[in-house]
């Protein structure tokens, strides 16, 4: 395995693990709790806050597991990148609008980060998404097994 393949594998597993942990943390609690956090961002119309809070943890879990398993790796990396871009936009908009968030809500009730910490974390994870996307299927992935006919 080359250095680029190692880097892509680590990136894929790291982003996947973060998304799985984040999704599971939020899915473990009532959607109303996460909807309350989402409403503080004031970026989603009120009528869509609860449906978004109910859907987002499962989307994070699905995309995270796809990355960990290497299933449709480029699509999963692009989807995770889109999620992190959306998260960065939401956090950035609260800072620009002077909205004080008690925490990011990224990991439900398990971990709490400030907007600045969240911005740095999501920026790093976005970079890792790019690494995972660039290497395509890479080693130790379902994609590479299916490409070889296994």
DSSP per-residue letters across 92-114: HHHHHTT---S---TBTTTB---
Q: What is the pLDDT of residue 150?
A: 55
Q: What is the pLDDT of residue 61?
A: 98
pTM: 0.91
Q: What is the pLDDT of residue 76?
A: 96
Helix axes 3-27, 73-96, angle to 10 degrees: 60
Q: What is the pLDDT of residue 146?
A: 76
Confidence label for 19 from pLDDT (cuts 50, 70 and 90)? very high
Number of H helices, E strands in the chain: 6, 0
Q: What percent of the chain has pLDDT over 70?
A: 95
Which whole-number Å values give the CA distances from 24 to 13, 60, 108, in the listed order?
16, 8, 9
Name the one residue in this structure whose structure tokens are 């990991």. Answer: 107
Question: For the residues 35-57, what does the mean pLDDT come to?
Answer: 95
Summarised one tens digit per residue, pLDDT across range 52-89 is: 999 999 999 999 999 999 999 999 999 999 999 999 99
Half-sphere exposure of 97 (CA within 13 A, CB side): 13
End-to-end CA separation in angstroms for the chain: 19
Q: Where are the domains of the chain?
A: 3-139
Question: For the residues 44-51, what does the mean pLDDT come to?
Answer: 96
Which whole-number Å values give the CA distances from 33 to 38, 50, 70, 117, 118, in the listed order?
9, 9, 31, 21, 19
Separation of alpha carbons 150 and 136, rounded Å: 18
Tokens of 101: 């968030």
**Three-class secondary structure of residue 42 per DSSP:** coil
Question: For the residues 90-100, what does the mean pLDDT come to?
Answer: 93
Which is nearest to 13 in space by CA: 71, 68, 79? Answer: 68
């Amino acid at each position: 395995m080359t250095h680029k393949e190692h880097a892509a594998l680590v990136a894929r597993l790291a982003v996947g693990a973060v998304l799985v942990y984040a999704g599971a943390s939020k899915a473990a609690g009532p959607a109303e709790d996460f909807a309350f956090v989402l409403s503080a961002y004031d970026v989603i119309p009120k009528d869509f806050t609860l449906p978004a809070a109910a859907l987002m943890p499962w989307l994070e879990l699905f995309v995270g597991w796809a990355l960990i398993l290497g299933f449709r790796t480029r699509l999963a990396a692009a989807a995770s990148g889109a999620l992190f871009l959306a998260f960065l936009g939401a956090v950035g908009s609260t800072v620009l609008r002077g909205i004080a968030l008690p925490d990011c809500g990224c990991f439900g009730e398990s971990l709490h980060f400030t907007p600045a910490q969240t911005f740095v974390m999501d920026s790093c994870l976005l970079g890792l998404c790019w690494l995972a996307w660039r290497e395509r299927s890479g080693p130790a992935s379902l994609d590479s097994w299916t490409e070889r006919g296994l």
